[in-house]
Amino acid sequence: MVILDKMEAQLRPAETDMAPYSAKFVTQANGDKFVVWQADRPDVPQLLESIKPLMTVEKDFYDIVAARMYSELLGWYRYRVKDEYCLVGTINGEIVGLANGRMVDDKTGMSYHTIALRQGLRIGAQLFAAKMEYHFDFLGQEEVWIVAESPNGFKRWMIEYELEPRFETWHELGGVPTYVLTKALWEKHKVMKCGGRRPVPEAMLEQAKQMILPETYAQIGGYKRHA
Amino acid sequence: MPRCREVGIVGVGHTRFGRSTVPYVDLCCTAAVEALDDAGVKTGEGHGVDQVFLASMGAQMLNRQSGIASGLVDTLDLRPAMAETVENGPASGASAIKLAYMAISSGMCDVALVVGAEMMRVVSGWEGTDFVATMLHPEAEYPYGLTLPSFAGMFTRLIMDKYGVTEKDLALVSVKNHENAMHNPGAHIKLVPQLEIITEDEDKDVINPYVAEPLRLYDVCPVSDGAAAVVLCAMDVADRFLKKPIRISGIGQATDTHAVAERAVPTDLLAVRLAAQRAYEMSGLGPEDMDVAELHDAFLILEIVESEEVGFFKRGDGHLAVRRGDTKIGGKIPINTSGGLKAKGHPLGATGVSQVVEIVKQLRGEAEGRQVEGAKNGITVNFGGFGNNVVSIILSKEAE
C-alpha cells in the first residue's frame, strides 16, 4: 500500500490554495431563490448523477457539454485535474445547473463548461456570470480563456460579453477558437450580467446543499428518474 | 357584401406548445385527430372531409418538408380530400381558415379541416430569428440585419415616447398572460413572473434582460413547436357533427407596406385596423359586442396597440386599460385568455388556428379555469410580417 500511495501521490497535481467562492442567491422571475455555491470534492458523485442523463442529448450540444463536464468533474474528484472548481446552482435544493473551470495560474483562469439542467430561467447565463465573478472578483485574475461548443454558448459568451478573440492561445478543450474575457470587459458587462445577494441565509444554504437530483429533464422527453 | 353559405366550426384540437418530441407530420396529426374526434368525424372511407389546408411558415426551410398537406391527408386517411399548404408568414393559420371559409362559403365543399403547425425548435434560436426575418423586405430591411425583435424594440420606443407607455405596463400584460396560461393545458410556459421582481428587483437586468431595448425577456414570446386544428363546415350540414357549430361571423384581412419605414404613421398598425373593420362589417358587429379577444402579442406592445386598433380603446389608451385591469378575465374585454403568444407560445403557422381554437372554447364554455362567463362573440388578430398582412376573424355563438 505504501508503494501505491507513493505512486498515487506522484500522479496527483500540486494544488494551489484558491480563495473560496462566497455563496449567493438570485431571486428568479417567479420568486424562486436560485442559490449559487461552490461544491467540495465529496459533492462530485452527486453532481455527476445530475448530468449523466444529458450525455445522450444531441440537441443544443448537451451531449458534448455533459460528457466533457462529467469527465472534468471526475478528473477533479480523482485528483487528475489541477486547481479545478465547480459552482452549483440549486432551486429549493434541486440541482438546476453547474459551471466549472480551473485556475491556470494566479493571473489566468480557464472556463470549462456551463450547463443548465432546468430551462427557461436563464440558469446557464447566471451560472456563467457567477463563474466569471469567481475568477475576477474572488481569485483576482486578469483574464479568463473561454471556448464555446454550442451556438447558444457563442451567443451568450462571445457576443454578449464582446469577448476578445485570441486564436493563437490554445484552450485545453481541443484547440477550438479561444476567446478571452479580460478584466476590463468584465467590469463593463458585469452590472447587467451578474446578480445576487449575500449572505445566503443559513437555512437556504443548508437546503441548497441537499443537492436533490432532478426528477425530469425538459431536454429528455418522457424521462423520469424514478419511473 | 354578398353572403353565400354560412360557415361554422364544429371541431377543435390543440397540442401542448413547447418542444415537440414527434416528427412534423405526427405533430400535425395529433392536433388534427383531436379536432376530428371533437367533431365526431371518422377517418377512412366516407369521412366526409372535402378539403384540408395546412398552415405553415417554416416547414420547407426548417424541416425540409414540402407538399406536406398531401402527406397529411394520406397519413390521416382522408384521401381523396383536396389539399393545399398555406404560407402567409405568421398569419398563415388565419389565412388558411379564411381560405377554408371561402371554399365552403362558395359551395365548392361542405367540410374542411385546417391544421396549423410549426416545428421551430429544431434549429437554434439564432437560426430561428433569422428564418423569421426572411419575411422582412429583402432589400430595405433583411440585408441590414433587421429582425422582428429589433423592429418591435423600435416600435415600442416610439409608442412609449408618444403615449407614455412604460416598461411596467408591458410587464403587467406579461403577468396577465402568464397567469392565463397556467389554466391552459396547451400553453408552453408554465411560470408566472412576479411584477415587482421583473420590474423593480435589483437583479431585474439579470433575470429579465433586454432583448431589444426597451423590450425585455418577459416582453417577447418564446420559440415554440406546436399544432392546432379546426374542422369547419357549412352551417346547413352542421347537424352531421357532434358539437354545435360556432359560427364564423366575420373575416377581414388587410395589408400594409412591406418596408416598415415607408408607413405614413410608424406608430399605427393600419392593417390591424382595416382587417378588424372589415371583419366587423361582415359580421354586423362592433368592438362593443366582443366578449373576448385573442390578439397577436408576439411582442407585448402589440397587444396594447392592437387593442386600440381593433376599437376596444382609444388610441393611446390601451396601456391605461391594462393598468385598470380591463383586459384581465373578469375585466371589460378579456384579452389573450389562452396566455397569448407570450405564454402559450408562438409556433408561427399554428398561431392563427390556435387563436380560433381558444375563442371556440370560450364560446362553447369549455375554457375551464380561464373561462369568460357568458361569452357570445370573440375576435382574433393574426399578424403577419411586422404588420404588413393581418387577418382578423370574428366568431359568434349561435342562439340556443
Residue A218 neighbours by CB distance under 10 Å: 14
Picking from A78, A91, A136, A153, the residue whose alpha carbon sits closest to that of residue A118 is A91
Mean pLDDT within B124-153: 94
Mean pLDDT within A177-186: 97
What's the pLDDT tens digit per position in B281-337? Answer: 999 999 999 999 999 999 999 999 999 999 999 999 999 999 999 999 999 999 999
A152 contacts B209? CB cut-off 8 A: no
User: In sequence order, what E strands does A39-131 have?
Assistant: 84-91, 94-103, 108-116
Confidence of residue B231 (pLDDT cuts 50, 70, 90): very high
Length of chain A (residues): 227
B206 contacts A29? CB cut-off 8 A: no
Report the C-alpha gap between A205 and A200 in whole angstroms.
6
Could you give the C-alpha distances from B295 to B63, B171, B197, B308, B342, in angstroms and in order?
Answer: 27, 16, 26, 11, 11
- Starting from the edge strand earliest in sequence, which strands make up the sheet with A164-165, in order? A24-27, A33-38, A84-91, A94-103, A108-116, A143-146, A179-182, A164-165
Q: Is A216 on the interface with B (CB under 8 A)?
A: no
Q: How does B124-152 read in b/e, with b if 16+ C-beta sit within 10 Å?
A: beeebeebbbebbbeeebeeeebbbbbbb
Q: Among B207, B217, B225, B342, pick the best mutation site for testing chain A contact (most A Cβ within 10 A).
A: B207
Instruction: Give, for A7, the enclosing helix (H) or strand (E).
Output: helix A2-11
What's the pLDDT tens digit per position in B339-374? Answer: 999 999 999 999 999 999 999 999 999 999 999 999
The gap between the terminal CA atoms of chain A, to the nearest Å, is: 43
B197 contacts A28? CB cut-off 8 A: yes
Cell numbers for B164: 407614455
Read off the amino acid at residue B170.
L
> Hey, CA dihedral for A197, A200, A204, A210, is it positive or negative?
positive
* Site of grid cell 497535481: A13
- Which chain A residues contact residue B206 at CB under 8 A? 26, 122, 125-126, 129, 192-195
Q: Which residue of B has its CA nearest to A222?
A: B21
Picking from B392, B397, B398, B399, the residue whose alpha carbon sits closest to that of residue B281 is B392
pLDDT of B1 higher than 60: no
The yes/no answer to whether this complex scores an ipTM above 0.95 is no
Q: Is A29 on the interface with B (CB under 8 A)?
A: yes
Quote the DSSP letter at residue A138: I
Mean pLDDT within B242-263: 97
- Which chain A residues contact residue B198 at CB under 8 A? 29
